[in-house]
Structure 1
Amino acid sequence: MKLKLPIQLVSLFLTAILMAGCSSFVEQQADKFANSVSETMLNFEDPETVGSAMPTFLILIDSFARKPDAGGKAQLSAAQIYGAYAGAFVEDPRRKKILSDKAFNYAQKGSCQMNKKWCGIDSLDAAAFQEFADELHKDDVPLAYAYSIAWLSFIQSHSDDWNVLADLSKAQRLLGIVVEFDEGYEHGTAHLYLAAIATTLPPALGGKPDVGKHHFERAIELSNGRNFLAKVEYARRYARLTFDQDLHHQLLEDVLAADPHEPGLTLMNAWSQQQAALLLEGESEYFE
């Protein structure tokens, strides 16, 4: 099974987290600059320009995360920018694996530094992992979110390895923790990932489109419809999977007709509109 998750889409949104993380470990005199760049990137209308700039930030952040005294926040920020860049702007499978491996490695180290109970959780067997997850609470939401996103990026790039793919349920469980305790966290993006997992396969092969539909609709609702990514993925993954052309068309038309400018979401919305146009372009062929 080839796992197809919206890493390449949601990763643009994750820039908000990773850039916020920057200011927590970049030298004090650079804080103002980092915050300014963060705001500029998130509210920039041209994803291609941001994509060209991201390698510079990747190298900068990696240089801090590699330091022997690097804190957990630095390493989690590195994890998120590696995952973001790999998912959004890298097509070569070999490079994706290298970058997602680094992302997951930093997520493991950073989570462990932030809270010792997170050390080595990826190696727990199913029963032990379930016990670990059952003991998590609302304070664990940020780590559960960051860890699961990096883990999904790693799983996606190693989808040809059944041993890696077997951990999908664990990453899914962590996303469930986020939804359970704070479903609105980061504009409800955990719902978007859960929706993608549920609609990766058609029903005949174990997919759960009705579950995916619920998560897509919650993601849209929790962002008040301003997260265009949720609508685009709803069309791409659910409407196409169930051959609902009317829904597909309406969702994409809504995205294209809306103003993408939204504090903190403009970059992602602009990218989502590009995707909506491409999906509409191929609509008649897909639903013929």
Structure 2
Amino acid sequence: MRRLAVNRLGDALAQSGTTYASDDDPQLVREALPFALKLIESLLEQSPRHRGLLLAAAGGFTQYAHAFVQQDADEAEDRDLRTAAALRARALRLYLRARDYGLHGLDAAHEGLARGLRADRIAALEAASKEDVPLLYWTAAAWGAAIAAKKDDPDLLADLPIVEGLIRRALELQPDFDHGALHELLIAYEGSRSEAMGGSIERARRHFEEAVRLSGGQRVQPYLTLAETVSVRRQDRKEFESLLKRALEIDPDARPEWRLANLVGQRRARWLLARADLLFAD
């Protein structure tokens, strides 16, 4: 009876993400999310294989770390290196926690899949189905963010092919997932690596175009990601500023389900524009 009650509560919590996503007050969400995430974790102690809760934990910890902790770290970089380093370390821990919840979620449906990723990722991911795409996405997003947060960690860097495998498999199963979210990940994946490391500015631009098409140009993230990766790498300040200004022109209320993400992204866009002199040599 207790497990049934926990599972029912877990089902309700797992479906509550839109309440946060449509909020117009990022600070309120920032203060509320830790309690919600710890509640999810307490329920997972009672029902550790509840896929809805595992997905909510993977997505929730990733978004909290990215939107708030990572942004705080980036903003602290110019004034207090010690504080910035501590915040980055915290963001890394949260990303890894999110990744592990995602892997547990995949394992809950496909026993041994997480372990198989290190042995033969292609074979392991063959077991995944369209139903697994949200978990594939959030596991990849969290894992990729962890790698980006600590680029000097060889063990994490060695996991990059696994992250790519998760994204590619999800793309095979549902290329239009969440209005281009997978393409948003691939803008960063392709655009942040040099050609020698297997990256491609051309592929990054194609994923940008697809992400914009699938979202109707109403999501900030594609513009933000292309500006931070490709424009900065190419030292193209004109493109950088154009992309960020386009992101700031998006009306957060046009698509309520993306309101919070767009508001958070626009805050970062304004911060990046203010730092342009530091990012570009000319």
CA change 1:179–1:110 in 2 (3 A) is closer
**For 1:119 and 1:202, how far apart are their aligned partners in 2?**
29
1:113 aligns with 2:108: yes
Which stretch shows the higher mean deviation, 107-116 or 148-157? 148-157
Structure 2 contact 44–53 (Cα < 8 Å) conserved: yes
Q: Deviations over 1:13-32 (max 9, x none)?
A: xxxxxxxxxxx94528x94x
Report the counterpart of residue 283 of structure 1 in structure 2: 276
**For 1:186 and 1:160, how far apart are their aligned partners in 2?**
32
Give 5+ residue unaligned stretches, structure 1: 1-23
**For 1:130, which of 119, 122, 126 is the aligned residue?**
122
What displacement does 1:103 show?
1.9
CA change 1:34–1:169 in 2 (3 A) is closer
What displacement does 1:68 show?
4.9
**For 1:131 and 1:259, how far apart are their aligned partners in 2?**
43
% identical equivalent positions: 27
Q: Deviations over 1:177-208 (max 9, x none)?
A: 22223121012111111111112234466542
**For 2:213 and 2:57, how far apart are their aligned partners in 1?**
30
Which stretch shows the higher mean deviation, 74-83 or 176-185? 74-83
Aligned pairs, how many?
A: 259
CA change 1:163–1:34 in 2 (3 A) is closer
**For 1:236, which of 228, 239, 246 is the aligned residue?**
228
**For 2:249 and 2:136, how far apart are their aligned partners in 1?**
35
**For 2:93, which of 86, 89, 98 is the aligned residue?**
98
Structure 1 contact 194–215 (Cα < 8 Å) conserved: yes
**For 1:38 and 1:191, how far apart are their aligned partners in 2?**
21
**For 1:180, which of 172, 176, 183 is the aligned residue?**
172
Report the counterpart of residue 78 of structure 2 in structure 1: none
Counterparts of 1:105-254 in structure 2 under 5 Å? 105-116=100-111, 118-124=113-119, 128-134=120-126, 136-203=128-195, 207-254=199-246
1:51 aligns with 2:30: yes
Q: Deviations over 1:203-238 (max 9, x none)?
A: 466542112111122111110101111112112211
Report the counterpart of residue 42 of structure 2 in structure 1: 63
What displacement does 1:97 show?
3.4
Q: Deviations over 1:16-70 (max 9, x none)?
A: xxxxxxxx94528x94x886x6444212223222112111111111111122554
TM-score by length of 1: 0.78
Which stretch shows the higher mean deviation, 231-240 or 260-269? 231-240
**For 2:218 and 2:231, how far apart are their aligned partners in 1?**
19
Give 5+ residue unaligned stretches, structure 2: 1-5, 74-86
Structure 2 contact 221–265 (Cα < 8 Å) conserved: yes
Output the amino acid matched with 2:122: Q
Aligned residues: CA RMSD: 2.7
Q: Deviations over 1:229-262 (max 9, x none)?
A: 1112112211222223332222222222231111
